[in-house]
Structure 1
Amino acid sequence: MRHGHGYRKLNRSVAHRRALLRNMVTSLIKHERCETTVAKAKALRPVVEKYITLAKNDTLSARRRAYDYLFDKSVVKKLFEEIGPRYQDRDGGYTRIVRSRIRPGDSAEMAVIELVDSVKQPRRTKKSADGATGSEAKSESGEGEQTSTA
């Protein structure tokens, strides 16, 4: 029987897996989005959601538990002062995983894991809304180019 199989091993030792997840949780809270493989994103999601739920109850004990796990003290401050209150009315489901691309080097399926209801704007693409690239849009509107009238 397969009782007790409750986490993903990610083909790493216990210490390596713990360090990997701690780094990824710290990065995700700091930047509010992270691109990684689908397997790592699925392993990261329950850990991040546990700490966001912890941050909704802003007590000294909760802060100390977060300090023990997260690497950066400024990230703990952001977790308890910005992210915890933002999700006060939401019961779980703080993250989303969006499959993004296939990595060229090893054909690994990549995904973006991000916080739901993030205040950060989505990344801009290379093309603007009208279809022109950034340099073409500047030259069409007259900005960016200096013309001499002699």
Structure 2
Amino acid sequence: MAYRKLGRNTGHRGSMLRNLATSLLKHERIQTTEARAKEVNAIAEKMITLGKQGDLAARRNALTYLLEEDVVTKLFTEIAPKYADRQGGYTRVIKVGPRRGDAAEMVLIELV
């Protein structure tokens, strides 16, 4: 399976993606670079799918990845029920233009 290294070593990349996924589910919208958004998109989809399962094992799996317990509670009580009849495609990526300084393509990733 191919993935983006994002210019970081394994531990840093994993921590960054966990932080991004937690922030996305907490605030329901974040601004980041396009490459990071593409990576965190897959993670967020998997977390919402866990939330839709709704059982204790799924909650524990989400707790192992997400950093804040209140975000997991929000995922299972507020976010997942919204997507009960939706089969994937829970996020939207909107381009907002280049970042000033290094011209990295910035995007807004949000829950649909």
Asked if Structure 1 and Structure 2 have the same fold, meaning a TM-score greater than 0.5 normalized by the shorter chain, the answer is: yes
> What is the aligned partner in structure 1 of residue 99 from structure 2?
103
CA deviation profile, 1:15-47 (whole Å, cap 9, x unmatched): 011000000000000000000000100111111
TM-score (norm 1): 0.73
> What is the aligned partner in structure 1 of residue 55 from structure 2?
59
Residue 86 (str. 1) matches residue 68 (str. 2) = no
> What is the aligned partner in structure 1 of residue 38 from structure 2?
42
RMSD: 0.7
TM-score (norm 2): 0.97
Unaligned runs of 5+ in 1: 117-150
CA drift at 1:102: 1.1
Runs of 4+ with >6 A deviation = none
C-alpha distance in structure 2 between counterparts of 1:8 and 1:49, whole Å: 17
1:1-150 aligned at under 5 Å gives the runs 4-5=1-2, 7-116=3-112
Give the paired residue count.
112
C-alpha distance in structure 2 between counterparts of 1:50 and 1:8, whole Å: 18
Amino acid across the alignment from 2:36: K
Sequence identity (%): 54
Amino acid across the alignment from 2:104: A
Counterpart secondary structure, 2:23: helix
More helix by share: 2
CA drift at 1:101: 1.8
C-alpha distance in structure 1 between counterparts of 2:74 and 2:40, whole Å: 19
Unaligned runs of 5+ in 2: none
C-alpha distance in structure 1 between counterparts of 2:64 and 2:85, whole Å: 26
CA deviation profile, 1:58-97 (whole Å, cap 9, x unmatched): 1110010111111111000000000111100000000010
